[in-house]
Structure 1
C-alpha cells in the first residue's frame, strides 16, 4: 500500500496552489518543503505584483496563464480576504527614441487580450507629476499583493481539503516502484522514505535537481537552469508615486528594467536588476546603489542616491541564458519524459505568482485527463 496518492515537492506559491487545487478535487495530497516554512525563495523575494499580461509572447503559456491567473487571483483575494490593491501601472517612454518600443508593448498587449490606455506627456504628468516622460501607457489591471498572505490562504485551503504540508523535508532520491514512486531524503535531520502514486515537481530553483534524482528520468529532458539574481533598493522617505512605474525594457536584456513598485504600506522600492550567477546567492551588492540611482533618474529626476537603501535580492529560475530570448514555462508529463505519474514544472519565474491559480488549473486538467479517479 502506498503512503500517499499525490506528493507535491515545493511549497512555494505555485506548489501550494497546485496542492490545494488537487486536494479540493478529491485527491490525497502531501506537500514536502525543504525549508523551515513555505515560500522562502522566489515566492517571497519578488516585486509582489499582480501582472496584467503585457510582455509575454502571444500564444505562450506565460501569456495565457498570466491573463487567466490574474482574473482568478483577484477573485481569490476577494473571497479569501488576501490583502491586495489594484493600483495600476504606468509604462513610460522617457524620450522620443523609446516611442516605437512603447507602441510595440501596446501591440503585444492587445495580442494578449490586454487593453492599455494611451497617455500623452501631459496626461502622464497629470497622473504622476514627478515623472519624466514623453508618452505612456496605463495598465488598470495591474496590482500589488501580500505574497505571504496569499501563500497562507493556499495552505489553509489545502488543509481544509484534507491535505498536509511537511516542512524541513528534503527529497534526495526518487525510485520507480510498482504503481508509483519511493521518495527518500532527510526530514528534520532524520532519514525518511515514503511512497506515492503521483509526483509533482514544483521545486522552483531546485526543480532540475529533483528531476535529476528521479530514476529513469531522461537527462535530455531536463532543461538547463540559469540562476538570475535581481536586487531591490527601498527608498527612504515619502513616495512621489501612486502607481507602479515601469520604464521601457532595455534592448537585448532579459529584465523589464529597474522599475518602481509600491508595497501595501506605501513603501517605494526599485528593482530588480539582472545579474546571472553560478551559485544561488541572495547577498546584496551595495555598490549597485549609484547604478540604480542613474537608472531611476531617467524617469524620476529627483531620485537621490543616498536615500536608496538595500532591501533584498531574489533569484529567478530562468531557462534562458544571458543574451538569449526569454523562454516559456515548461510543464512536462509522461508524454514528453516517459515517466508515468511524474509532472515537472520548470522555469516558473515571473509571472508565476500571478499565474499560480491558472498553473494549478493547468496541472489539474492534465492530471484529470492522464490519471482519472
Structure 2
C-alpha cells in the first residue's frame, strides 16, 4: 500500500476531499480522535459513485497476495465492519461465496485461490472436489471443484457511509455537500483549498476522490501517473420468480491477468439476486451508460502513454466485454456457464451500473494495489481498489496511526 503516513497531531485542521466510504471512514477516525475535520464532497449526497454502485460484498480475503497490506487490511476491516453494522443495527448477511471451477482447465487457478485464502486466514474455508457437495451449497450451480467461504457477507455500503457520517457530525466534524474542489495550493504545513462555494485553509488535506483522484492530484503538481481509467460494470437482475437459482454468491475463478473478478451472482441484503458486473471502458469518468460521453475524458485516456500498450495486451478481452455489454446473448452465455438452468428470460436489465476508478501507469499496467502520494501537506489516495469498501475502517485506522 506504500507509505500511508500523514503528518499531524491531535487538534490539527484536516480537510478530506471525497465523500465515499474511505473518505468518510477517515473523517470519522480523525474527528473521534479530536481533530477538526471538514469533508468536501462535490455531489449533493454521500456515496454517490463507487461506494453506492458496487456489489455490496464484504470480502473475506480470498484473492490477495498473502502478507500484503491489502490482505491484512481486508481481514481487519471485515471484523471492524461487522461490529460497526451490529452497533448501528445495519444489515450484515453472511450468505457465503462459492468460487467455482467450471472445468479442469481452471483447477490450477482455483488451487492458487485456495492457497492465498488459507495463507490469509479466511475463516472456515472449504475446498470442494465432490460435485455433490457443490450441489448441497448451490443446488443449481455446475462445476468440477470449488472453494467455499461461508462468512463472505453482503451489506448496504451507502447506508454504512451515512451512519459513519452521523458519527463524524456527532464528533464535531463538518461535511459540506455540493463543494467541488477547483484549486489547491500546498506548502509544507498549510493547504489552501478553493471550492465552487467557499475557500478553506487546513493544516493537512487527504484526498480520497476516487474517479477524480488524478484530476485533484494535478492541482498540487503531483505526478500524472497513475491515471484513472474508468471501467463501467453493468448488472442484470434475476427475475423475482427465479432468484431461488442462487442461494448466496456464485463466483468464477478470476483470470489472474486482470484486476476484475468476472461476471458473478450475488444475493443482496434485500434478497434480490444481481448478475455481474462486466468490465467495459467507460466513455466518461462518471459514465454510467453508453450514452454518457465526455470527449475530454476519452481524449485524455487515448493520449495517455499507457493506452497503446494496454490496447495491444488486452484488446481481445476488451472486445469480449464490449460485445457482452451490447448483446444480451453474450452476457447470458457468460452467466449460464455456472447455472445451466438459467434462461435468457431470467435476466432483467436494470438501471444499476458502477464505474470503477482503475488506476493505470505510463506503461499500460493496471494497478491492483493501493497507491499513495505525498505533496507537502497533502496526501493523495491515488488508487483504492476492491476491497477498499470492506477495508475502509481499517484503512482509516492505519492512516490515523501514522499521523
Map 1:120-159; keep pairs closer than 5 Å. Answer: 120-159=130-169
Match in the other structure for 1:279? 284
SS in 2 for 1:219: coil
Structure 1 residue 325 displacement after superposition: 5.5
Contact kept? 2:372, 2:381, Cα under 8 Å: yes
Contact kept? 1:320, 1:327, Cα under 8 Å: no
Q: Distance in 2 between matches of 1:245 and 1:94?
A: 11
* Matching residue within 347, 369, 372 for 1:308: 347
Note if 1:16 corresponds to 2:24: yes
Q: Report the CA distance shift for 1:324/1:302 in structure 2 as closer, same or farther (over 3 A).
A: farther
Structure-1-length-normalised TM-score: 0.89
Q: Deviations over 1:88-144 (max 9, x none)?
A: 111111112211111110001122222420122110111111111111111022100
Contact kept? 2:191, 2:205, Cα under 8 Å: yes
Match in the other structure for 1:110? 118
Aligned length in residues: 352
Structure 1 residue 211 displacement after superposition: 1.3
Q: Distance in 2 between matches of 1:255 and 1:288?
A: 20
Q: Report the CA distance shift for 1:342/1:251 in structure 2 as closer, same or farther (over 3 A).
A: closer
Structure 1 residue 263 displacement after superposition: 1.3
Larger fraction in helix:
2
SS in 2 for 1:354: helix
Structure 1 residue 326 displacement after superposition: 4.4
Match in the other structure for 1:203? 209
* Matching residue within 358, 362, 365 for 1:318: 358
Q: Distance in 1 between matches of 2:196 and 2:181?
A: 7
Aligned-residue CA RMSD (Å): 1.9
SS in 2 for 1:44: helix
6-15 vs 52-61, greater mean Cα deviation: 52-61
Structure 1 residue 83 displacement after superposition: 1.4
Q: Deviations over 1:239-259 (max 9, x none)?
A: 122211101113633311100
Match in the other structure for 2:270? 265
Q: Report the CA distance shift for 1:51/1:181 in structure 2 as closer, same or farther (over 3 A).
A: same
311-320 vs 122-131, greater mean Cα deviation: 311-320
Contact kept? 1:254, 1:274, Cα under 8 Å: no
Structure 1 residue 177 displacement after superposition: 5.7
Query: What are structure 1's unaligned runs of at least 5 residues?
Result: 368-373
Q: Distance in 1 between matches of 2:275 and 2:216?
A: 33
Contact kept? 1:6, 1:29, Cα under 8 Å: yes
Match in the other structure for 1:329? 370
Map 1:37-186; keep pairs closer than 5 Å. Answer: 37-115=45-123, 116-119=125-128, 120-176=130-186, 179-186=189-196
Q: Distance in 2 between matches of 1:294 and 1:326?
A: 29
Match in the other structure for 1:255? 260
Q: Distance in 2 between matches of 1:291 and 1:151?
A: 35
Structure-2-length-normalised TM-score: 0.83
Match in the other structure for 2:394? 358
Contact kept? 2:259, 2:368, Cα under 8 Å: no
Note if 1:345 corresponds to 2:351: no
Q: Distance in 2 between matches of 1:141 and 1:75?
A: 14
